[in-house]
Amino acid sequence: MYHVFVQLDDYEFVSVACRDELEEAIHLIDGLNAYWPREYVVRDSEGHDVDLTRYTAIKPERVAASAIR
């Protein structure tokens, strides 16, 4: 399970969705960035951040550098 979070203008992270597969979460973020460019974070079921810069569908400037805590 992968949880997708978006960073709002006030730097707060809000949960957007959950997806069973990482590829599905990446596809969701890619689509969201087309209409709502923001910084996104994906966390796995154990709460670890996924390094989205490794995936070509995600632009590094749209990925949050800080972890959600």
Q: Please check whether residue 29 is in contact with residue 58, taking contact to mean a CB–CB distance below 8 angstroms.
A: yes
Q: How many domains does the chain have?
A: 1
Q: How many CA atoms lie within 13 A of 6 on its CB side?
A: 12
The predicted-structure confidence for 13-67, as pLDDT tens digits, reads as follows 999 999 999 999 999 999 998 998 999 999 999 999 998 887 755 554 555 544 4
Domain range for 21: 2-62
Write out the two tokens for 59: 């632009």
Residue 50, in any domain of the structure:
yes
Separation in Å, CA 64 to CA 6, 26, 38, 58: 9, 14, 9, 11
Residue 39, in any domain of the structure:
yes
Average of per-residue pLDDT across 6-19: 93
The residue ranking higher by pLDDT, 19 or 9, is 19
